[in-house]
Amino acid sequence: MGSRYINRELSWLDFNARVLQEASNKQVPILERLRFIGIFSNNLDEFFQVRYATVKRIADTKPTIKNNKDNIVAKKLLDEITSKVINLQSESSLILESIEKSLKKENIVFINEREVLESHKEFLKDYFIRKISPALVTVILSNNKLHDFKDNKAFLIINIKLIDSSNIYALVEIPRDISRFVVLPKKDNKQYIMLIDDIIRYHLEIIFSFFNYSHIEAHMLKITRSAEFDIDDIDLSKSYIKKIQEYVNKRKISNPVRLVYDQSISSSTLNYLIKKIKITSHDSLIPGGKYHHRSDYMNFPDLQRSDLLYPKEKSLDIKDFKIESNLLDQMLSKDFLMYTPYHSFSYLVSILRQSAIDPSVKSIKITLYRLSEKSNVISSLINAAKNGKKVLVQIELQARFDEENNIKVSQQLKAAGVDLIFGVKGLKVHSKICLIERFKGNKKRYYGFISTGNFNESTAKIYSDFTLFTSNQKILKEVNKVFSFLKANYKIYDYKHLIVSPHQTSKKLFELIDNEISNVRKGLKGKIIFKLNSFTSYKFVDKLYEASKSGVKITLLVRGICCLVPNKTGFSENIIVKSVVDKYLEHSRIYVFENAGDKKVYISSADLMTRNIEKRVEVACPIYQEDLKKQILDTLEISDNDNVKTRIINNLSQNKFVTNSKNKIRSQWDTYSYFKNILN
């Protein structure tokens, strides 16, 4: 691909480096920095399970004349990834050490098994016997039996040296249902924290008391396995749910793609592990410190220290949208826009709850992708079904890492009499749409909402997403067409308002880009703004290069991967790429076209990635109401002017912060203030 494109895997690692920047930033509250360490680690786990696993599969393919070039490129890329990850892991360890030192100054002290105070011994023994010991899974490893090293679990590998000089190896799984961080009783005004790992180490003699040993040691390790499977390969005679369940179970014992281990482990123990796990030469061996599975820091306790956290802002009301009154009636007169987490997600749940008991509502149709474990959305839909409404739910069982929860939810919905659609063959359903059918007299009218994010109460507190609440019949009749396609996907529909993948997105967006090119050639202003999570589609990259060469000014606000090389003489000098990483996860997708002054604004579920454009059902919705269009454009302008949390993305030096002498604008803070001011 040459210098026209940035490699997507390396670009993703650059994104995760931006997350790590937040962990290292001393302006960020200390406990929030710890949580960014957790997010960084969790991101890396998923990267190895998905992206690294895909590259590894290509590298491991037996070379042929046809694939030899791909094979060589993949092997080189694996080496680059491993090198970059080792550097990032090393940096994250130094940052964690720095955070722990800062916490010490706040009288929050981490102690290990060698630093236990006399006054804590009884507490720890009691905690171990009551809480930890019953939850421990301990496996004695033998040379003639293959044991299940589960995916993305943290283990202690125990080397027991017996009196007769022989060795026994054991595996202790770190329990996941207990908080990894144990808060010990305060002493001298100091708050002590101990990791479960060290409490287990401290009590090894209790666990292995029946062995006659001279020496015992424990080192931590974590195995990451491939999450890439082709579901179409599973026995088609089985039910769809059964196939997904098999897929999830297979993933737990799939090929290992990474072994992170304590670098102080003995070479004999490490070699034993490598043979036992069947690590191949192309797998990623990542030496690390004493502790792994740092994703647990995402849930680090707040210790009742609000002074060490970001201030908690109350979610705002939506202007003129009275949640205590009939929301559907209010939607008759105009549209409303919700921007979580700045606005309260309760509006969406309340619309479903009201619809569930409204006698004039006859049916509810909704697409679901990722759900919170205790979902008010689901309870509202079940409530509607119990009240005799016809409820149709498209639930995407293939939502990666949410399959088991989605299967459980689908069974609850089915038991309540909800009609379920499990997807379209060869496509994931990633659109975020809901359609409510309501009768007043004999007149049918649609109401609904279209969003950039999942209908998930938990993520709505930390993901920034736009949701349009509307009774625009032209838009909603097309939403109904999407549901008709989901039910009978041999029917392909035309859309005048929505932009729908997989059939239309490329064509419609290319037409809109061509319109900007045409306007510039006529001497008019041409401008495009895309706000995205990821930008990896080479055909869209090339199309924007074409627009840039024609003089169209392009701003890309991309949180994660970006394969486009911006600001490069010859093909992209009119393109600027920026990325904001801050308290909330920037998740909304927005497309804006200047259109000779009459701006076209869309909110969408789709990033500009090949999978979103060609292999998923996605919906982009136009914003027609001028006040709502202005709100979106204003938030984009705030983001574009951020000079506190914005990084510049290019092919030379990634992740430099935007700095200038203008008044400080921190887009997430200023966006909250913007919507707060609208209410006044």
Active site residues: 430
User: How many helices (DSSP H) and strands (DSSP E) are in the chain?
Assistant: 19, 27
Helix (H, G, I), strand (E, B) or coil at 426: coil
The per-residue b/e assignment along 503-527, b for 16 or more CB within 10 angstroms, e otherwise, is: bbbbebbeebbebbbebbeeeeebb
Which residues, in sequence order, are CB contacts of 504 under 8 Å at separation 6+?
Answer: 495
Q: At 641, which amino acid appears?
A: N
Nearest-angstrom CA–CA distance, 592 and 601: 5
Q: For the beta carbon of residue 329, count every other beta carbon within 10 angstroms.
A: 14
Helix (H, G, I), strand (E, B) or coil at 94: helix
Q: At 517, which amino acid appears?
A: I
Segments of 226-283 assigned E as strands = 256-262
The terminus-to-terminus CA distance of the chain in angstroms comes to 52
Half-sphere exposure of 407 (CA within 13 A, CB side): 16
Which residues, in sequence order, are CB contacts of 428 under 8 Å at separation 6+?
Answer: 396, 398, 399, 611, 615, 616, 617
Name which of 28, 623, 629, 666 is nearest 311 in CA terms.
28
CA distances from 300 to 20, 181, 188 (A): 17, 7, 22
